[in-house]
Amino acid sequence: MTGGAGFIGSAVVGALLADGHEVRVLDALLPAVHPSGLPSAVPAGAEFRHGDVRDAAAVEAALDGVSAVCHQAAMVGLGTGFDDAPDYAGCNDLGTAVLLAAMARRGVRDLLLAGSMVVYGEGAYRCPAHGPVAPGPRRAADLDAGRFEPPCPVCGEPLLPGLVAEDAPADPRNVYAVTKLAQEQLAAAWARTCAGRVLTLRYHNVYGPGMPRDTPYAGVAALFRSALARGEAPRVFEDGAQRRDFVHVSDVAAANAAALAALPHRPPGSTRAYNVGSGEVRTVGDLARALATALRGPAPRTTGEYRLGDVRHITADSTRLRTELAWRPRVPFATGLAEFATAPAARSA
């Protein structure tokens, strides 16, 4: 398990240990995520090794005796600007390439890859007049004017957002998204060359206990909660109507366990992707209001600010995961947010 000391990785480790797996964690404990330098989040019962996925010797040693790899290690989030691009490409793509090359040498043929919904760019849209369409890139002039909804590229009329399925074309719209798509493509090339088997779980907006805070790479749920802990109103970008699918980390861990069990039954040389979402469509404003209510804090403030690399609406169709792997999300939005509001956070800076 690469990245097994992180927010999602440690939850997956716990689920796999509960299923009776022996788990070895390889984690670099990067200071931006682990300021203490200690693997404090790694569940008891897992073997821990300190090492970076970009270090071929560390990776090869960690693969000794391993039958499958769950690759969670990645630099996440939209970041702070294009200056982050070398770090994203190094952590996510070079690291994945080093890992896959070591797996090829060691004869490890099963890979469970942590993917992301960001590979889709915008979600699924339909124009009442022109049917399914793909909106073009968001324009700063529109966003500056408060026109946040993407128009139909044919007639310019408003679009109706829907659920995005795994067969939607990839359209990454920021550096992080590009690196996550490259991870999938590297894994597919490895599978074809080495007769490997790959299952990719495209996470939607994951939240839950242990989520990092106080960093530009944290998820929006963590940023809102940190503001409320300081007694500040959560700052909601755009108009707060951005649609997302917020899925609890325990449900993501269960999806990983189900996928790992399915991997040995896949044909050699194959890849398959699964959306991992709760199936509950919510808005960013909904999230901010729910947290403010749970923490009895100030009401959210809608700022009209935006980040050009963000997308307007992206929500999951997780039918494939439910049907093929018999996975079901167990934590409703209201229950999960109430727990998350008061759960300890992992300090990231």
pLDDT digits (tens, 9 = 90+) for 187-238: 999 999 999 999 999 999 999 998 877 655 558 898 999 999 999 999 999 9
Q: Which residues contact 65 (CB under 8 A, 6 or more apart)?
A: none
Q: How far apart are CA 344 and CA 287, in angstroms?
A: 18
What are the angstrom distances between the C-alpha of 145 and each of 25, 140, 304? 48, 8, 9
Q: What is the pLDDT of residue 280?
A: 94
Which stretch of DSSP H or E encloses residue 200? strand 197-203
Mark the ranges of the chain whose per-residue pLDDT is less than 70.
Answer: 78-80, 214-218, 345-349
Q: How far apart are CA 327 and CA 203, in angstroms?
A: 14
Q: What is the pLDDT of residue 240?
A: 97
Question: For this structure, is 176 an active site residue?
Answer: yes
Task: From the candidates 88, 120, 176, 217, give the one annotated as an active-site residue.
Answer: 176
Beta strands at 346-347 and 212-213: parallel, antiparallel or unpaired: parallel
Tokens of 84: 């982050």
> Nearest Cα to 300, choosing from 223, 234, 232, 239?
234
Q: What is the pLDDT of residue 309?
A: 82
Q: What are phi and psi of 27, to 5 degrees?
A: -145, 140
Q: What are phi and psi of 23, to 5 degrees?
A: -125, 130
Q: Which residues contact 133 (CB under 8 A, 6 or more apart)?
A: 125, 126, 127, 152, 153, 154, 159
Beta strands at 124-127 and 205-207: parallel, antiparallel or unpaired: unpaired
Q: How far apart are CA 72 and CA 338, in angstroms?
A: 26
Q: What is the pLDDT of residue 40?
A: 84
Q: What is the pLDDT of residue 348?
A: 43
> Nearest Cα to 249, choosing from 214, 203, 289?
203
34-37 contact pairs (CB < 8 A, 24+) = 34/5, 35/347, 35/348, 35/349
Q: Map out the domains of the chain with their CATH numbers.
A: 7-121+164-212+246-278+318-334 (3.40.50.720)
Q: What is the pLDDT of residue 82?
A: 86
Give yes or no for a contact between 275 and 202, defined as CB atoms under 8 angstroms apart: yes
- DSSP, collapsed to helix, strand or coil, labels residue 113 as strand
| Amino acid (1-letter code) at residue 12 | V
Largest CA distance in the chain: 58
